[in-house]
Amino acid sequence: MRIVLISDAWHPQINGVVTTVTNTVATLKTLGHEVELITPDRFKTYPWPGYPDVGMAFLCGPSLRPIIKAFKPDAIHLVTEGSIGYAARRYCREFGYRYTSSYLSQFPEYFKMRTGFPMLLSETYLRWFHSESARVMVATPSLEQEMRQKGYQHLARWSRGVNTELFRPRTKDFIQDQRPIFTYTGRVAVEKNIEAFLKLELPGTKYVVGDGSQRDVLEKKYPDVRFMGYQQGENLARLMAAADVFVFPSRTDTFGVVLLEALASGVPVAAYPVQAPNDVITNSTVGILNEDLQQAALTALSLNPQSCRNYALEYTWEKCTQQFVDNIVQMI
């Protein structure tokens, strides 16, 4: 098939959406599909309020339309609901294209945390955005149930995967600090609830791998924590594998690809018993979910790294990309 993917999130951003799009495009091509990826780097962009590192391609419609028209797609998928997604949706409606879309993050909650923007307005926009989609793809059963209760229709599952060749068990000596090593990896921003991890009284050393709007404040407030900034590739994988427990304090994520990256590295997870961890960590031998995050982190130290690795091997990009293709085929 000839597939157009539209995403407002793209490199140099480092987040679950970018990871998902990058691996899905690569796997689609491996499966023999032709892909046209339309992302902000193809347009003039402006900083998004509350997200200064995110470039938004406002008024990109006149430049976007010729790209889609020239490609002559069999399917169009709107990954995100930003300005490029909006322009593509408008194009599809005007020229009679059916399209699919995905709901990847709790954007209304995030946007309110960062800017104070009313959730009611954001939620109203998102319901409108997805209202005419032939398939609205979501990653987990609980998110599907939540959206169904909110009135969303045509819901379909599109899970997530992990690169098990990059993220794999390695020697722990990449980190020389006092053990145990408790690690968080991801965006350093208010919506990730990182301070709930940093203020825990834990033995050993805490690591934060990532960057974002809260880093400067948290780095000054918690001088004993190792803030490593954004890491990619081998460096990221080595840091992940060198941890003893991966602590995931977020209460708002819809999936959390980093959970799979930790498990694939043989690192057990400690998290709150909320949507994303409940859906991803379905086996108590690979992670501990507890409202007492400190107790969860300490208990997770006793879990078997090989069990974590075996669990993650079930989540491949090939499997979830085939889910994506099946959803599109059903729509066509």
The pTM of the whole model exceeds 0.85: yes
CA quadruple 122, 128, 131, 137: dihedral positive or negative?
A: negative
In the chain, what is the straight-line distance between the N-terminal and C-terminal CA atoms, in Å? 11
How far is it, in rounded angstroms, from Cα 10 to Cα 41?
A: 8
127 and 148 Cβ atoms separated by less than 8 Å: no
Q: What is the pLDDT of residues 2-54, one digit of tens each?
A: 999 999 999 888 888 999 999 999 999 999 999 999 999 999 998 876 666 66
In this prediction, residue 118 carries a pLDDT of 78
Neighbours of 13 (CB within 10 A): 18
DSSP bridge partners of 221:
none
163 and 23 Cβ atoms separated by less than 8 Å: yes
Q: What is the pLDDT of residues 233-252, one digit of tens each?
A: 999 999 999 999 999 999 99
In this prediction, residue 105 carries a pLDDT of 77
13 and 83 Cβ atoms separated by less than 8 Å: no
How far is it, in rounded angstroms, from Cα 78 to Cα 91?
A: 12
In this prediction, residue 107 carries a pLDDT of 64
Cis before residue 223, ω within 30 degrees of 0? Answer: no
Mean pLDDT per segment of 10 residues, for the chain of length 332 residues? 96 89 97 97 83 78 96 97 96 95 76 69 92 96 93 95 96 96 95 96 98 95 97 96 98 93 98 96 97 98 98 95 96 85
| 3-class SS of residue 102 | strand
Radius of gyration of the chain from its Cα atoms, rounded to whole angstroms: 20
DSSP letters spanning 36-95: EEE-GGGS--EEETTEEEEEE-TT-HHHHHHHHHHH--SEEEE---SHHHHHHHHHHHHH
List the domains of the chain with CATH numbers: 2-161+316-331 (3.40.50.2000), 172-312 (3.40.50.2000)
269 and 288 Cβ atoms separated by less than 8 Å: yes
Q: What is the pLDDT of residues 40-67, one digit of tens each?
A: 999 999 887 666 666 788 899 999 999 9
Q: Which of 290, 278, 323 lies closest to 141 in space, CA to CA?
A: 278
